[in-house]
């Protein structure tokens, strides 16, 4: 069973980044991760930044983040199915506690050749700033 989690990442008031929501999707022993500007809800589009893949431990973890980087609190979790994954788009069916939807993550660029492959970033690697749009669409006939 493939899993996902959405964590509210509360950052200290001093720093260059603001608090955000981390969407994490289990894939190949690590978590594909995006920092969302807003808490996701059905029928919404949210701006995000692709982050380096995270350790699988975050599927179960809540609490302080090392290095004084704030703390995380789980706001949603469940199982998921990756429907599509390539250099410019990831599509996932989420079956969470409250969110039952298809999430489409699209890179905000037209130049796929210069953009870093969303599916190839490994845990701990820098992705640079890679802006994405994430949409959360309801599922009328969920796949089994």
Cα-to-chain-centroid distance, residue 55 = 13
Closest by Cα among 4, 106, 123, 101 to 53: 123
- The runs of H, that is alpha helices, within the chain are none
Domain residues for the domain of 97 are 3-138
CA angle, corner 121, sides to 32 and 58, nearest 5? 30
In a domain, 119, yes or no: yes
**What percent of the chain clears pLDDT 70, i.e. is strictly above it?**
82
Count of the separate structural domains present in the chain: 1
Does a structural domain hold residue 57?
yes
Does 143 map to a domain? no
What percentage of the chain has pLDDT greater than the value 90?
68
144, part of any domain: no
Residue 140 has pLDDT above 80, yes or no: no
Interval 49-76 mean pLDDT? 94
pLDDT for the residue 113: 40
Judged against a pLDDT cut of 60, whether residue 119 lies above it is answered with no
**Position 96 in a domain:** yes
Determine phi and psi for 40, rounding to 5 degrees.
Answer: -70, 145
What is the average pLDDT across 21-48? 96
Residue 16 inside a domain? The answer is yes
The verdict on residue 35 lying in a domain is yes
Say if 112 falls within a structural domain: yes
């Amino acid at each position: 069973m493939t899993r996902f989690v959405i964590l509210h990442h509360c950052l200290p008031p001093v720093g260059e980044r603001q608090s955000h929501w981390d969407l994490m999707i289990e894939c190949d022993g690590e978590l594909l991760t995006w920092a969302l500007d807003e808490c996701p809800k059905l029928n919404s589009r949210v701006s995000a930044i692709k982050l380096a893949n995270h350790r699988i431990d975050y599927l179960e973890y809540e609490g302080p983040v090392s290095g004084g980087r704030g703390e995380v609190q789980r706001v949603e979790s469940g199982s998921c199915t990756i429907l599509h994954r390539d250099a410019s788009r990831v599509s996932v069916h989420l079956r969470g506690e409250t969110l039952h939807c298809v999430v489409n993550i699209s890179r905000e660029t037209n130049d796929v050749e210069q953009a870093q492959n969303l599916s190839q970033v490994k845990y701990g690697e820098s992705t640079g700033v890679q802006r994405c749009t994430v949409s959360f669409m309801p599922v009328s006939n969920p796949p089994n």
